[in-house]
Amino acid sequence: MSSVRVLVGTKKGAFVIESDGKRQKWDVSGPFFAGWEMYHLKGSPADPNRLYASQSSGWFGQLIQRSNDGGKTWEAMDNKFVYDGVPGTHQWYDGTPHPWEFKRVWHLEPSLTDPDTVYAGVEDAALFRTTDGGKSWHEMPGLRGHGSGPSWSPGAGGLGLHTIVQDPKNASRMFIAISAAGAFRTDDGGTTWKPINKGLHSKHIPDPTAEVGHCVHRIAMHPSKPDVLFMQKHWDVMRTTNAGESWEKVSGNLPTDFGFPIDVHAHEPNTVYVVPIKSDSEHFPLEGKLQVYRSRSGGHEWEALTTGLPQKDCYVNVLREAMAVDRLDSCGIYFGTTGGQVYGSSDAGEHWAPIVRDLPAVLSVEVQTLS
């Protein structure tokens, strides 16, 4: 029988939460790495028991942990992330050049086919890769070498590379996104990259055709349609149908189109989920009502999903890494809040219930569907 494993990273440790395919009762393990910020945990699609975790601390820096048994035990791997060559500078908040400095790993994306290959998105923005299961990490320098790097500037949370999406039909193609540089695509396995931000409009960018500078929060893809991407930008929900060559706004009737996470239904490529947040000044739901919005038409038309979610006095946030779907027949969807709840729905968002509550602030949620 199938089962589900939810990997939760929080500000004070990691948790592994498991259920059978019914998804009614949940067993919580953890905290692992108690007291550490766990930015992201993710399992290998090629070996579900192989997990990787980004562990960091303002005091002690970055660590990478690996599990070979589905999160029961962990082993510290190499934590040396050194930029290739002379790091150079990017733009600081005040517009001055600022040296590239490694701060932390925001996102770990295991290869679709090889459990020893993992991509790491880091702050200050760069893409690293290991091909030996985390024993060593090397920058893929073509991204920062694209030429626009000196003009990249950080978002409020830093200059982080937070989104890595692999094309399951084209091993040479990958998409990444950086706050606040924008989205990029490689078609040659990471050697060269191009910005894919045409059609994005951001108030703070005076040039509407700017190649970079957009604060992309998250990009999601359905594996059956890799040329169709959905983006939650700082403001605006966007869609491309040509692998990022151009984007169109699909915010439609959303009550606010500011937000962080975005994801796609496991079996319906046009069904998309977002969590609208009031504004970039007030990072909580509108009117204290926690609502997931779903579009079944690839955007434009959205419906609120509220059953089981708090509809008064709720002032949590849902961060960019904190939403994921399972692949069971009735698609499950999960998201974590800065209030420490992880909500789950086993019917594509119709009904919600907390699978755990009162954790530290949730930074990331990933889901593995196990058979």
Q: Which is nearer to other proteins, 30 or 252 (CB)?
A: 30
Nearest to 216 by CA among 193, 244, 174: 244
Q: Which is nearer to other proteins, 63 or 205 (CB)?
A: 63
Please tell me the distance from the alpha carbon of residue 244 to that of residue 230, in angstroms, as a whole number.
10
- Binds other proteins by CB under 8 A, chosen from 10, 62, 111, 232: 62
Binding status of residue 35 toward other proteins by CB under 8 A = yes
Q: Which is nearer to other proteins, 353 or 361 (CB)?
A: 361
Least separation in angstroms between residue 82's CB and other proteins is 6
Task: Give me the DSSP letters along 60-88.
Answer: TEEEEEEESSTTSS-EE-------SS---
Task: Give me the DSSP letters along 180-197.
Answer: TTEEEEESSTTSS-EE--
Q: Which is nearer to other proteins, 98 or 300 (CB)?
A: 98
- Binds other proteins by CB under 8 A, chosen from 24, 57, 191, 209: 57
Residue type, 236: D
Sign of CA dihedral 93, 209, 83, 76: positive
Interface pattern 111-140 for other proteins (x via CB under 8 A): ------------------------------
Binding-site size for other proteins (CB under 8 A) equals 14
Please tell me the distance from the alpha carbon of residue 167 to that of residue 227, in angstroms, as a whole number.
8
Report whether 337 contacts 344 (CB < 8 A): no
First to last CA, the chain: 6
Q: Find the part of the chain contacting other proteins (CB under 8 A) among 59-67, 103-111, 162-170, 236-244.
A: 59-67
Q: Which of residues 70-109 bind other proteins (CB under 8 A)?
A: 76, 79-82
Least separation in angstroms between residue 282's CB and other proteins is 22
Report whether 92 contacts 150 (CB < 8 A): no
Phi/psi for 162 (5° steps) reads: -115, -15
Q: Which is nearer to other proteins, 144 or 278 (CB)?
A: 144
- Binds other proteins by CB under 8 A, chosen from 22, 24, 60, 170: 60
> Rule CB under 8 A: which residues touch other proteins?
35-36, 57-63, 76, 79-82
